Amino acid sequence: MSDIIRVVLADDHPIYRDGLARTLQDAPDIEIAGVAKDGEEAAQVVERERPDVVLLDVSMPKGGGIAALTRIMQMAAPPRVAMLTASEEDGDLMQAIKLGALGYILKGVGAEELVELVRDLNAGRSYVSPGLAGRLLVAMRRRDQAVAQANPLDELSKREEDILKLVAQGKSNREVGEALELQEKTVKHYMTSILQKLQVRNRVEAAMLARQHLKG
């Protein structure tokens, strides 16, 4: 199996898109599998190229990154997707995370950090820019006011709590399995149960919830 991470970039600003492509292409383990200038083209390129990681701008023509993300996540084996954007709108953030994006990266991120984030995304680790993490928690809290007074982690078994703590540290299922001496498929089964008990849609929301309550 190749160690090269194949990436698709979608952004409607050619100068930014080309610069980003060069930055990533300079990394020895990253290859640009394709680029797109709008949401419709992004979905088409991803379906054709089947990359490992996709970076989508939120604000593009023809449906933008959200529409593209929706189509991409409906594919049989969707890639890891992160929204790379200048948008700090809470609505964009919540929608992207709910649809299954693993990351939400602001465009001000440095070149070296972006390369590392692509590697992390490829490994299944989630990422939300630090400045947005607190706002995501607030938005989640508002949405779940009915259960906000109780600690949702109380519903978890000891093993599930141990797994969630590692997920909250940004570890992938494989890394969690190695740390706890569990098979990766066993960790996946536990994660399904954890998401159901916490009433969240994906591991990003679960990790945010864990950080909030584990600190308390």
Could you give the percent of the chain with pLDDT greater than 90? 64
Are the C-beta atoms of residues 53 and 29 closer than 8 Å to each other?
no
Both structure tokens of 138:
């607030």
Mean pLDDT of the chain: 89
- Predicted pLDDT of residue 120: 95
Tell me the domain boundaries of the chain: 5-137, 145-215
- Predicted pLDDT of residue 143: 64
What digits encode the pLDDT tens for the residues 95-113?
Answer: 888 899 999 888 888 889 9
- Predicted pLDDT of residue 68: 96
What digits encode the pLDDT tens for the residues 64-103?
Answer: 899 999 999 999 999 999 998 776 666 777 888 889 999 9
Q: Distance (Å, rounded) from C-alpha 126 to C-alpha 172?
A: 8
Angle between helices 90-99 and 64-73 (to 10 degrees): 10
Of residues 216 and 211, which shows the higher confidence score? 211
- Predicted pLDDT of residue 216: 45
- Predicted pLDDT of residue 145: 61
Q: Distance (Å, rounded) from C-alpha 210 to C-alpha 198?
A: 10
What does the pLDDT average to over 125-148? 72
- Is 0.95 surpassed by the pTM of this model? no
- Predicted pLDDT of residue 98: 86
Lowest mean pLDDT among 6-15, 149-158, 160-169: 149-158
What digits encode the pLDDT tens for the residues 31-61?
Answer: 999 999 999 999 999 999 999 999 999 989 9
Is pLDDT of 215 > 80? no
- Predicted pLDDT of residue 109: 87
Third-level CATH fold of 5-137: Rossmann fold (3.40.50)
Domain 145-215 has CATH 3.40.50.720: no
Q: How many CB atoms are located within 10 Å of the residue 98 CB?
A: 14
Is pLDDT of 147 > 70? no
CA-CA distances (angstroms) from residue 203 to 8, 18, 163? 23, 31, 11
